[in-house]
Chain A
Amino acid sequence: MSAAAVPVPSRLLGDVSVGDELPELAVDVTATTVVLGALASRDWRPQHHDHHFATERNGLADIFLNTPNQAAWFERFITDWTGPFGRPGRMTFRMRTSVFPGDRMVFGATVTGVATDATGCGWVDLDVALRVGDRVATTCTARVALPVDPSDNPWRRHGDRWDPGGAAAAS
């Protein structure tokens, strides 16, 4: 990147409203997807790379996406939307069913809150879902910080000025 191409925020807090929907992300999951994600997150447990272990020991349909890799997929989905100035604060997710090779996973999200906290940090709350066909495999509630104006940058917040565990943002 040249010095002339210093990035500017592509999405500000004021651009976002409750009820907004994020662009969907669809991914066809293969065994490689599962194994790549498990090894990238240093998860060596066999249910994430050994078909026979997953089916015969765990009683599952196949190897399946591991927890840290699902978190990484949620991060990618959210920051695709926010741009690089979006700073993840918190994610809580629940895996209802597993995601297996052969599944087409589709990420979608709705904005449920837009607010500025006591430190001036802008927060967006999201309800995110990972769907496979008609079933919701994983649900996620997420908080991500966005700049409140073009000169603001959540990544430059430290200590008391960064409170990802604060109360949920109100619209």
Chain B
Amino acid sequence: MSVAGGPGSGSGRDSAGEVLPAGVEAMIGRPMYEQTADFVVERAYSYNTCAATGNGNPIFWDDAVADAVCGGPVVPPTTLSLWMRPHYWQPGAAGEQVALQVHFDLKEIFGLPEAVMTDNTLEFHEPVRPGDRISHRQVLRSVSPVKTTKVGAGRFWVIDVEYHNQDGVLVGVERYTGFGYRRVEAVGGEAR
């Protein structure tokens, strides 16, 4: 899915009332990139997540406990975003596949080569279970004026990601705050 418009065009405004590119204005508040996962929720990633964090919660390791407590197997709630993350490569895909595409669209539109995530909210609804097929959609909520931080000059943006299972039941919502920036020493001269 492409993003309409481009840098420097149009008359949208950011959160300080400054002019935004028309493409960005069109993105704010509009569900984008509605997608269904390429693969179903699987236990291997549940185990990987627990192993990476030393999580011994028996609801993820012991089916009898999962049955008794959760009505069947569940996966760690904080795995919410991973089910929609694209493969690094797959047949027919052009170039590197990236998650949270709106974030990367904004980096490109504003010409900000670097980015970090600063805030993250996770809200957990219906449990995600092995075999579920998750869908999500991304909604850009806001874009800040240009700000200068210790890592560089750029903009903050807030993106919501809503997740549903194959029955259309909400399983979670994520809110990301990202900061796209250009490194301080690169401003006004050497690009990297």
Contacts and interface: CB of A to CB of B under 8 A. Distances in A.
A170 interface: no
B52 to A, nearest CB: 4
Given A75-B77, A79-B55, A92-B120, A40 B49 contact: yes
Contacts of A33: 52
Which of A3, A33, A36, A40 has most chain B Cβ within 10 Å?
A40
B79 interface: yes
Interface stretch (B1-9, B13-21, B121-129, B132-140): B121-129
A75 to B, nearest CB: 4
B151 A59 contact: yes
Given A6-B68, A80-B57, 18 more contacts: A1-B64, A7-B58, A7-B65, A36-B52, A41-B82, A43-B99, A68-B82, A69-B53, A71-B78, A72-B55, A72-B79, A76-B50, A76-B55, A79-B55, A80-B56, A84-B69, A155-B71, A164-B123
A88 interface: yes
A94 B78 contact: no
B3 to A, nearest CB: 21
Contacts of A3: 64
A112 interface: no
15 contacts: A40-B48, A41-B85, A68-B82, A72-B79, A75-B53, A76-B50, A76-B57, A87-B124, A88-B78, A88-B124, A90-B122, A91-B121, A95-B120, A155-B69, A162-B126
Interface string A12-36: 0000000000000001000001001
A91 B118 contact: no
Interface in A39-87: 39-44, 57-59, 67-76, 79-80, 84-85, 87
